[in-house]
Amino acid sequence: MTFEELNIIPPILKALAQENYTSPTPIQEQAIPPVLAGRDLLGCAQTGTGKTAAFAVPILQLLSKGQGSKPGKRPIRSLILTPTRELAIQIQDNLEAYGRHTSLRSCVIFGGVSQKPQEAALKQGVDILVATPGRLIDLMNQGFIDLQHLQIFVLDEADRMLDMGFIHDVKRIVAKIPSKKQTLLFSATMPPEIAQMVKTILVNPVKVEITPVSSTVDKINQSLYFVDKENKQKQLIHLLEDKSIASVLVFTRTKHGADRVVRDLSRAGISAQAIHGNKSQNARQSALGNFKSGATRVLVATDIAARGIDIDELSHVINFNLPNIPETYVHRIGRTGRAGLSGTAISFCDIEEKPYLKDIEKVIGKTIPVVTDHPYPMMITTKPAEPVVKSRQPSRPSRNKPGSAQPKQAKPASKPAGSSGGKAGSPSRPSANRAKVRGKS
Ligand code: AMP
Residue nearest to atom 6 of ligand 1 (CA): 48
pLDDT per residue as tens digits for the range 307-328: 656 565 678 999 999 999 887 8
Which ligand 1 atom sits nearest the alpha carbon of residue 20? 21
Neighbours of 71 (CB within 10 A): 6
Q: Which ligand 1 atom minimizes the distance to the CA of 48?
A: 2
Q: How far apart are CA 306 and CA 276, in angstroms?
A: 8
Q: Is the CB of 43 under 6 A from ligand 1?
A: no
Phi and psi at 68, nearest 5°, equal -90, 175
Ligand 1 lined by 24 (C-beta under 6 Å): yes
- Stretch 61-78: mean pLDDT, rounded? 83
Q: Is 304 in the pocket of ligand 1 (CB under 6 A)?
A: yes
Q: Could you give the CA distance from residue 308 to residue 326 in angstroms, rounded to a whole number?
A: 19
Residue ID of nearest Cα to ligand 1 atom 21: 21
CATH class assigned to 220-364 = alpha beta
Domain positions in the chain are 4-209, 220-364
Residue 418 DSSP code: -
Tell me the CA–centroid distance for residue 53 and ligand 1, in Å: 7
**What single-letter amino acid sits at 28?**
Q
Intrachain domains 4-209 and 220-364 with the same fold: yes
DSSP labels, 194-210: HHHHHHHH-SSPEEEE-
Closest-CA residue to 299 (of 233, 248, 242, 238): 248
Ligand 1 mutation pick, 25, 255, 392, max ligand atoms within 8 A of CB: 25
Is residue 90 within 8 Å of 52, Cβ to Cβ?
Answer: yes
Q: pLDDT, tens digit, for every residue of 210-220?
A: 854 444 566 78
Instruction: Say whether pLDDT at 408 is over 70.
Output: no
Mean pLDDT of 373-379: 90
Q: For residue 309, what pLDDT is reported?
A: 63
Nearest-10 Cα torsion for 142, 143, 148, 152: -50
Residue 382 pLDDT exceeds 50: yes
Q: Which CATH number fits domain 4-209: 3.30.530.20, 3.90.79.10, 1.10.3720.10, 3.40.50.300?
A: 3.40.50.300
Q: How far is the CA of 304 from the centre of ligand 1 (A)?
A: 7
- How close is the Cα of 48 to the center of ligand 1, in Å? 7
**Above 80 in pLDDT, residue 393?**
no
Tell me, in angstroms, the distance from the centre of ligand 1 to residue 203's CA. Answer: 28
Of 116-120, 176-180, 230-234, 412-416, which range is least confident?
Answer: 412-416
State whether the Cα torsion 24-29-35-41 is positive or negative.
negative
At 230 the pLDDT is 95
Q: Is the pLDDT of residue 340 over 70?
A: no
Asked which of 225-239, 307-321, 407-421 is least confident by mean pLDDT, the reply is: 407-421
Tell me, in angstroms, the distance from the centre of ligand 1 to residue 95's CA: 12
Mean pLDDT for the chain overall = 83
Q: Computed from CA positions of residues 187, 188, 194, 195, in that sequence, does the dihedral angle turn out positive or negative?
A: positive
CA distances from 85 to 9, 45, 194, 333, 358 (A): 30, 19, 21, 32, 27
Q: What is the pTM for the complete model shown?
A: 0.58
The string of pLDDT tens digits covering residues 266-294 is 999 999 999 887 777 788 878 888 998 88
**CB of residue 268 inside a 6 A radius of ligand 1:** no
Ligand 1 closest atom vs CA 21: 20
Between 9 and 188, where is the model more confident?
Answer: 9
- Which secondary-structure segment (H or E) carries 160? helix 158-163
Ligand 1 centroid to residue 23 C-alpha, Å: 10
Does residue 81 contact residue 131 with C-beta atoms inside 8 Å? Answer: yes
Distance between Cα 273 and ligand 1 center (Å): 21
